[in-house]
Structure 1
Amino acid sequence: MSSPTPSADRSAENHAADPIEAIVPLIPIVLPVVGGVLIFLLAFIAVFMA
């Protein structure tokens, strides 16, 4: 209401892609994979040190 231009005109503008919005959909896949790699790495270090 306070904007002089309708929302359709604003959506047509070219905006740079936000890098955070590009990464967010991958979080449910990347986080468990990185966690599993970290656990394996820590277990390997523990066995190697023992």
Structure 2
Amino acid sequence: MTDPHSPVHAAPAAHPIDAVESVVPFIPFVIPAVGAIMIFLLAMIAVTMA
């Protein structure tokens, strides 16, 4: 058996990069940008139909 106090077991396990964790920092920039694009498109549709 191996020694449970050996340095090999003391290292923390590296977790894989999660897709959600990589996107979360960009949410404060993406949501207002998409909202602005949606408002512009809706206004353009309203003006075109009028």
Q: Please indicate, yes or no, whether the TM-score normalized by the shorter chain is above 0.5.
A: yes
User: Could you list the runs of 4 or more consecutive aligned residues of structure 1 that deviate by over 6 angstroms after TM superposition?
Assistant: none
CA RMSD across the alignment? 1.8
Task: Return 5+ residue gaps in structure 1 as ranges.
Answer: none
What TM-score results when the alignment is normalised by the length of structure 1?
Answer: 0.72
Match of 1:16 in 2: 16
Task: With the length of structure 2 as denominator, give the TM-score of the two structures.
Answer: 0.72
Equivalent residue pairs, number: 42
Structure 2 unaligned residues grouped into runs of 5+: none
